[in-house]
Amino acid sequence: MKNNKSVTTQKEIDALGRVVIPYRYREQLGIDKNTTVDLVLNNDNIEIKPRKRACSLCKGFKNVNETVGLCEECIRMVKELDINQ
């Protein structure tokens, strides 16, 4: 669900340079405690984006199953290999 509404929340950076991303933001973007994020410096802004996981076999980003780390096409090919042997 894409939300184009701009929301501002003020947060303090701690002594180690960390900032807490509010729960409602993390929930909306699907970010949990083990999500890798990209920090993008864009002029005078820092963008925080959840990193899309690449398929472990073909390195593509399309339709990657987060549980197994493979895209749908590679899952299909692995199943076919398993059936044929």
34-84 tens-digit pLDDT: 788 889 999 999 998 888 888 999 998 888 888 888 999 999 999 988 776
* CATH assignment of the domain containing 21: 2.10.260.10
* 45 and 10 together in one domain: yes
pLDDT of residue 84: 65
Q: Contact 50/37 with Cβ under 8 angstroms? A: yes
Assess contact for 63 and 79: CB atoms under 8 A. no
Range of the domain at 62: 52-85
Asked if residue 33 and residue 2 are part of one domain, the reply reads: yes
For residue 74, the tally of other CB atoms under 10 A from its CB is: 19
Are 33 and 74 part of one and the same domain?
A: no
Number of domains composing the chain: 2
Pairing relationship of beta strands 37-42 and 45-50 according to DSSP bridges:
antiparallel
* Model pTM score: 0.55
Q: Are 52 and 35 in contact (CB under 8 A)?
A: no
Residue 44 shares a structural domain with residue 3:
yes
**Pair 39, 48: CB distance under 8 Å:** yes
Q: How far is residue 6's CA from residue 33's CA, in Å, rounded to a whole number?
A: 24
Q: Are residues 2 and 28 in the same domain?
A: yes
